[in-house]
Chains A and B, each alone.
Chain A
Amino acid sequence: MKKFSLILMSLMLLFSFALAACSTEGDTTEPSDEPSEETPGTEAPSDEVVELTFQNIPNTGLDVLVKQYESENPNVTINYQEVEFNDHHNGLVTALAAGSGIPDIAFVEIGFLETFKGDEGNFTNLYDLGAKDVTGDYLDWKIKQSENADGSFLFGLPTDIGPMAMAYRTDIFEAAGLPTEPDEVSALITNWDEFLEVGKTVAEKTGKPMTDSGGTIYDTMVGQLTEVYFDENNELLLESNAGVKEAYDRATAMVEAGITAKVGQWSPEWNAGINDGGFATLMAPAWMMNYMKSTAPDGSGNWNIAQMPVASGNWGGSFLTIPAASEHPEEAYAFIEWLLSVDNQYEIFKETGNFPSTPGIYDKPEMQDWTDEYFQGAPVGKIYAEAALKVVPVYFGPNHTTVNTAVKDAINNVENNDADAQAEWDAAIERVSRELR
């Protein structure tokens, strides 16, 4: 009798495995059947409750609005999840590759979006769902970031952006005998050659480096180009694009002139540098202000903000996408169109300070009168709104990060190991050709 029950138990175990295998199969085949039923399904939402899974990262300010949408739309429930930035994106990569566990709405940062663009099949084209009607509300360059090369496919609707300005230490500038008012500083440093010259003066007079690292300056300069590593047919331009080589040469020249602090972004040394004035300038996108305030509170009152040399640029910013595996793309689209509308971005901006991607808000008094004590009362709203409008659209391509990593490694080797700039450039080109095969 005892033996019989044991056999029964092991059989049940076996069946449970078999069942588990079946149920996952069922899940993956279902979505592919769904689109064919889409047309009759349009009237279904009115009487049926639709559940949408929304996977987001923390501190976007969207969570409050989710509840509001649910109460206004009783036929939709939203299963809202927050996962840390890196875990969220890594999870999304594996979910998309494996074809299971994919949310209906996924937050995607610009760096990852470029990679995901390699596979349009993974996402729903928002232009098919009527996004053409709302793209006019957003900044042109931001929409372009979200489109495929020929502009026929829209991957996501924009959330926040990262327009850039130059934060600088007034105490160091003063010690170097330089002007400290934002307008004067903007006039003093209008291009990267002047940046280098000012950097040399600062280093000479105060012994302080001008900026954190060559890699940051390189990223900033490259961000001001209209074409970077790939053209719109995804042909590699690394060797032929004079702008990239020029940026590389300028960055390595700054490194060789000794005006960089040789500290990597996000390192303890970097945080300490922001706090105690380890370097005189920092290329700061709008979201950097919150980072500086929280990790470097002692820097308060010593920093000010001026426009960046040459033009603005963009660092970061994100999108909400609807993966192709979603069973309810229309409901999901209706939700994100509402969530990221001008009015709601205005609410989010007032709540969190996340910089909106809808230029319609830039004239609002909250933006125009936005000043910050950390930056000596600088009109940060005006500065970043002006910067946001100056950003030029640029095509990156799915392999942008791979190439960028190789070039920045080269700069880092020149910076930290006294490597030869030209030899490192050649090595980077060779490396890129290997990594892209």
Chain B
Amino acid sequence: MAMSAKSDKKPRFKYGSQASKDALSGYLYVAPFFILFLTFGIFPIFYNLYISLFSWKLFGAEPEFIGLQNYIWLLTDDPTFIKSVVNTFSIWIISTIPQLFIALVLAYVLNQGFVKMKDMFRMAIFMPFITSILAVTIIFNSLFSRDFGLINFILGTEGLDWENNNRFLTHVAIATMVNWRWIGYNTIIYMAGLQTIGKDLYEAATIDGANKIQQFFYITIPQLRPIILFTIIMSSIGGMSLFIEPLVFLDIRGGSANQGLTMFLYLYETAFGTKYNVGYSAAISWVMFVIVVLFALLNWFVTTKVIKD
């Protein structure tokens, strides 16, 4: 009975009928967004795919169709690209893991009853996120500077060149900038998640004799699983497209030995640095897209598995 009632209600499209007018106005309402999205979202993605099949320089010879040659070069004969992938993951690991862990601990502490002036702490912790990345990087650039940097002064490592001396140190410096800016953001997300966990779970645990640390690992983390998953996916996507920090801290090539070159920066440098090679750059963007998707899927898979256990 219910089935037939439903099929009777199905609108019939007749010219001039109320149903067709409703449908038309509906499409018109969403049209502005979709026109913009098609023009600036979908079209460039596929045009990019088309460009990637050409040897296409902005200046000089006419574009020449070379099929998959750009991809073959990129994947089999380009140590700079491999280096940029390694850099990206290295920076991601030393930024995301401490960042999410510190954010989780901060959120847990801030959510405790004994903390006074919660609003002030929340605001203070979130503040870095609303600063401009560029400004943050310029400030950190001078903090990490070789001869007059505050960080070398505090650590007693005068003369240590964070930009040039050691690839790992360069990554640490860049990760520090990322962490400083994103810990607050993740803390606020986790705090929102913590508020949804019922008090009764903690009360029951307290009665059973569990201490705060046990409660954190056996109640808080499992209950926060979807939120943690969200932050991991977000930071994967953000970390994979790291761009401004290495650009400003080093230069457009990510330093003279490409020690801080990330995938995104390499893409940009190829198209707009000195080479103006947009065909190759488009190929990089597609390979990068595949890497980001695979990595996000892997993270999702691992996180759901690990936290379930």
Q: B272 to A93, Cβ gap below 8 A?
A: yes
Q: A272 to B274, Cβ gap below 8 A?
A: no
Task: Tell me the nearest residue of chain B to A402, going by C-beta.
Answer: B274
A437: Cβ under 8 A from any B Cβ: yes
B203: Cβ under 8 A from any A Cβ: no
Q: A412 to B164, Cβ gap below 8 A?
A: yes
B35: Cβ under 8 A from any A Cβ: yes
With beta carbons under 8 angstroms apart, the residue of A13, A93, A434 that contacts B58 is: A93
- Which range holds the interface residue count of chain B? 20 to 34
- Give the segment of A2-10, A35-43, A336-344 that binds chain B: A2-10
Q: B32 to A118, Cβ gap below 8 A?
A: no
Question: A119-B60, A417-B165, A434-B77 are contacts. A10–B272 as well, Cβ < 8 Å?
Answer: no
For B249-286 the 0/1 string (1 means CB < 8 A from A) is 00001001100000000000000101110000000000
B59: Cβ under 8 A from any A Cβ: yes
For A425-437 the 0/1 string (1 means CB < 8 A from B) is 0000001001101
- Quote the shortest CB–CB distance from B142 to chain A (angstroms): 7
B218: Cβ under 8 A from any A Cβ: no
CA distance A115 to B73 in the complex (A): 24
* Residues of chain A from 1 to 35 with CB closer than 8 A to chain B in the complex: 3, 6-7, 10-11, 13-14, 17
Interface of A: prevailing SS: helix
Q: B59 to A10, Cβ gap below 8 A?
A: no
Residues of A within 8 A of B73 (CB): 434, 437
Instruction: Give the number of residues in A that approach B within 8 Å (Cβ atoms).
Output: 37
B8: Cβ under 8 A from any A Cβ: no
Question: A269-B145, A398-B59 are contacts. A17–B275 as well, Cβ < 8 Å?
Answer: no
Question: A272-B148, A416-B164 are contacts. A7–B272 as well, Cβ < 8 Å?
Answer: no
A413: Cβ under 8 A from any B Cβ: yes
Question: A269-B145, A416-B165 are contacts. A118–B31 as well, Cβ < 8 Å?
Answer: no
Q: A10 to B146, Cβ gap below 8 A?
A: no
For A126-161 the 0/1 string (1 means CB < 8 A from B) is 000000000000000000000000000000000000
Q: Which of A7, A10, A96 has the most CB of B within 10 A?
A: A10
B78: Cβ under 8 A from any A Cβ: yes
Residues of A within 8 A of B80 (CB): 431, 434
Q: A118 to B57, Cβ gap below 8 A?
A: yes
Task: Tell me the nearest residue of chain A to B29, going by C-beta.
Answer: A10
CA distance A116 to B60 in the complex (A): 8
Interface of B: prevailing SS: loop
A53: Cβ under 8 A from any B Cβ: no
CA distance A437 to B280 in the complex (A): 10
A64: Cβ under 8 A from any B Cβ: no
Residues of B within 8 A of A119 (CB): 59-60
Residues of B within 8 A of A17 (CB): 32, 35
With beta carbons under 8 angstroms apart, the residue of A6, A416, A434 that contacts B25 is: A6
Question: A115-B274, A268-B142 are contacts. A413–B256 as well, Cβ < 8 Å?
Answer: yes
Q: B28 to A10, Cβ gap below 8 A?
A: yes
B161: Cβ under 8 A from any A Cβ: yes
Residues of B within 8 A of A417 (CB): 164-165, 257
- Quote the shortest CB–CB distance from B109 to chain A (angstroms): 38
CA distance A77 to B175 in the complex (A): 52
CA distance A96 to B146 in the complex (A): 39
A408: Cβ under 8 A from any B Cβ: yes
Question: A268-B142, A416-B161, A434-B77 are contacts. A115–B276 as well, Cβ < 8 Å?
Answer: yes
Residues of B within 8 A of A267 (CB): 145
- Quote the shortest CB–CB distance from A436 to chain B (angstroms): 8
With beta carbons under 8 angstroms apart, the residue of A7, A419, A435 that contacts B275 is: A435
Q: A402 to B275, Cβ gap below 8 A?
A: yes
Q: Which of B29, B60, B61 has the most CB of A within 10 A?
A: B60
* Residues of chain B from 117 to 132 with CB closer than 8 A to chain A in the complex: none
CA distance A398 to B59 in the complex (A): 9
- Quote the shortest CB–CB distance from B32 to chain A (angstroms): 5
CA distance A268 to B43 in the complex (A): 44
CA distance A435 to B58 in the complex (A): 14
Q: A416 to B276, Cβ gap below 8 A?
A: no
Question: A10-B32, A269-B148, A409-B256 are contacts. A93–B274 as well, Cβ < 8 Å?
Answer: no
* Residues of chain A from 170 to 201 with CB closer than 8 A to chain B in the complex: none
CA distance A272 to B146 in the complex (A): 12
Q: A10 to B276, Cβ gap below 8 A?
A: no
CA distance A319 to B275 in the complex (A): 22
- Quote the shortest CB–CB distance from B27 to chain A (angstroms): 9
* Residues of chain B from 52 to 73 with CB closer than 8 A to chain A in the complex: 57-61, 73
- Quote the shortest CB–CB distance from A77 to chain B (angstroms): 31
- Quote the shortest CB–CB distance from B58 to chain A (angstroms): 4
A401: Cβ under 8 A from any B Cβ: yes
Given contacts A11-B28, A434-B73, 5 further A-B pairs with CB under 8 A are A10-B31, A96-B58, A115-B276, A402-B274, A409-B257
Report which A residues bind B (CB closer than 8 A): 3, 6-7, 10-11, 13-14, 17, 90, 93, 96-97, 115-116, 118-119, 122, 262, 267-269, 272, 398, 401-402, 405, 408-409, 412-413, 416-417, 419, 431, 434-435, 437
Q: Can you list 24 A-B contacts (CB < 8 A)? A: A7-B24, A7-B28, A10-B25, A10-B28, A11-B28, A14-B32, A90-B272, A96-B58, A116-B59, A118-B59, A118-B61, A267-B145, A269-B146, A269-B147, A272-B148, A398-B59, A398-B60, A401-B274, A402-B274, A409-B256, A412-B164, A412-B257, A413-B257, A434-B80
4 closest A-B pairs by beta carbon, nearest first, are: A118-B60, A412-B256, A416-B164, A118-B59
